[in-house]
Amino acid sequence: MKKPLALIIDDEPDIRELLSITLKRMDLDCHCAENLAEAHKLLGRHTFNICLTDMRLPDGDGVDFVGYTQEHYPDLPIAVITAHGNMETAIQALKSGAYDFLTKPIDLSSLRTLVTSALKLSAAHRQGERKLIGTSQATEDIRQSIAKLARSQAPVYISGESGTGKELVARMIHEQGPRSEFPFVPVNCGAIPHDLMESEFFGHVKGSFTGAVASKEGLFAVALGGTLFFDEIAELPQHMQVKLLRVIQEKSFRPVGATYEQATDVRILSATHNDLTSMVKEGRFRQDLFYRINVIELHILPLRERTEDIPLLIDHVLQKLSDSNKVKKSTLDEKALSALCNYVFPGNVRELENILERAITLCDNYHITEDDLQLPDTGSNESGNTSVKDGTALDKYLGDIERQTILDALEKTRWNKTAAAKLLGISLRALRYRLGKLGLE
């Protein structure tokens, strides 16, 4: 069986020899180049499975070479080698499409981990079980972005309104990438009490605090080799922002009460429906952390801006509800379908799912009418904003605002009603009453 082939580009003979020896011990064949001119010739003669390149070369810049390979050899994972502490250059390379980076002096354990992971990308493309539903150009753009981002180790920041499917996108990036055999661990930063957050993230040793009757692994240890998805990262308190930044920089962490550092190998994905740029300007989110997690941003458009997807999403949700409840698949009449296609969906896809699930319980003979939908009046699809219109009662307007506020709180807490009630400053019983009144229970 043919061995994987690596291209090594560095003008220092000692570095080329170190990399070559290490990769050959991993059962790879290697070709070496001391400048970009030689590298281009080798690329034309061979099909490589991985490329390692220095950033500063006698006849060019490593970042430019990354861009060239992305355009002409998009299936080639390329990792860059940077000087110690030169994170700006590494991030620039990641933005250009580099798979990952190494810093000098090169840690051989990190090198072997990187190469093992990158080689998985040279196999057949993985297609995850999950998929995006829709035929709009916006949805197709997201699919293409997911495929591209899956072939990188760069941190990705996923922005978008509540309910747009940010976690689904994060899972797809993970499942289509080389870490798919390892855990995908979602973390809702808004649902963890601040005093327990450090222990949840990094673990603790026995006896490190009152109640620590046994040692416990944290989320960074649980996700080892895989992906950590920080949902609602805007909710991280300042002290945890500092600690997370350190872990990303050092690739190690210290469990609570421990006297040792523990190495970590995870990919960081994050998301929030808040405007992090504004939070940085206001001093509520650290600029240096934002810079590290937002190497690449992927924005998910709200459902009202991709209405072409609504009919397919409706069909998908009705089929899913039919399968899960083991009942006949429901249908919609024309007025019901038209009403949904013209509704603004402040809660996006999550709200569509809730509306259809409620409608199924209300309809007769598995046929949903417009009345069964019980859609609130939230204004026209053009504006996307709740507004008081002529003839609209004040209580109806306030009800719409209440509905959206509750949806936001539920989304922040991953639909943990106890946590959502606390966030809203009301009792769990009061929240349940409001959910019933609004048809969200």
- pLDDT at residue 382 in the model: 45
Residues 55 and 152 in one domain: no
Q: Give how far Cα 406 sits from Cα of 134, 393, 415, 432, Å.
A: 27, 20, 10, 11
Whole-number pLDDT of residue 387? 44
Query: Using a CB cutoff of 8 Å and minimum separation of 24, what contacts does 144-149 make?
Result: 145/298, 146/172, 146/173, 146/176, 146/298, 147/176, 148/97, 149/173, 149/296, 149/298
**Residue type, position 242, single letter:** V
Neighbours of 87 (CB within 10 A): 16
Residues 276 and 195 in one domain: yes
Written as one string, the DSSP assignment of 348-380 is HHHHHHHHHHHHHHHSBTTEE-HHHH-------
89 lies in a domain? yes
Q: Which single residue is written with the structure tokens 């569509």?
A: 352
Closest alpha carbon to 51 in 2, 98, 95: 98
Question: Is there a contact between 93 and 66 (Cβ–Cβ < 8 Å)?
Answer: yes
Judge contact between 419 and 428, C-beta under 8 A: no
CA 361 to chain centre: 33
Query: Is the predicted pLDDT of residue 321 greater than 70, yes or no?
Result: yes
Q: CA 44, CA 99: separation in Å to the nearest integer?
A: 21
In a domain, 339, yes or no: yes
d(CA 168, CA 174): 10
Q: What single-letter DSSP state applies at residue 136? A: S
In total, how many domains does the chain have? Answer: 4
Contact present, 90 and 82 (Cβ < 8 Å) = yes
pLDDT at position 386, please? Answer: 42
Q: What is the pTM of this model?
A: 0.74
Query: What is the reported pLDDT for 1?
Result: 60
Domain that holds residue 114: 5-122
- Once rounded to an integer, what is the mean pLDDT over residues 264-283? 94
Judgement on whether residues 231 and 260 belong to the same structural domain of the protein: yes
Q: What is the pLDDT of residues 97-156, one digit of tens each?
A: 899 999 989 999 999 999 998 888 755 444 455 788 999 999 999 999 999 999 899 999
Is residue 282, in this structure, part of any structural domain at all?
yes
Instruction: Quote the CA–CA distance of 180 and 381 in Å, as a whole number.
Output: 38
Average pLDDT value for residue range 213-235: 92
Domain boundary among 301, 326, 349: 301
364 and 398 in a common domain = no
The per-residue pLDDT for 244 is 96
Residue 129 placed within a domain: no
User: Are 266 and 169 within one domain?
Assistant: yes
pLDDT score at 125: 44
Retrieve residue 227's tokens. 């992906």
Read off the CATH number of the domain in which 25 is found.
3.40.50.2300
| Residue pair 343/375 in contact by the 8 Å Cβ criterion | yes
pLDDT (average), residues 240-244: 95
Name which residue leads in pLDDT, 86 or 176: 176
Q: Which of 50, 12, 44 is nearest to 30 (CA)?
A: 50
Same domain for 108 and 170, yes or no, is no
Please, which residues have CB within 8 angstroms of residue 345's CB and are 6 or more apart in sequence?
163, 302, 303, 304, 351, 352
Q: What's 314's domain CATH number?
A: 1.10.8.60
End residue of a domain, out of 67, 88, 122: 122
**Can you tell me which residue has the tokens 């002290």?**
239
Residues 224 and 279 grouped into a single domain = yes
pLDDT in tens, 380-422: 444 444 444 444 444 555 667 778 888 888 878 878 888 888 8
Which of 280, 301, 322 is the last residue in one of the domains?
301
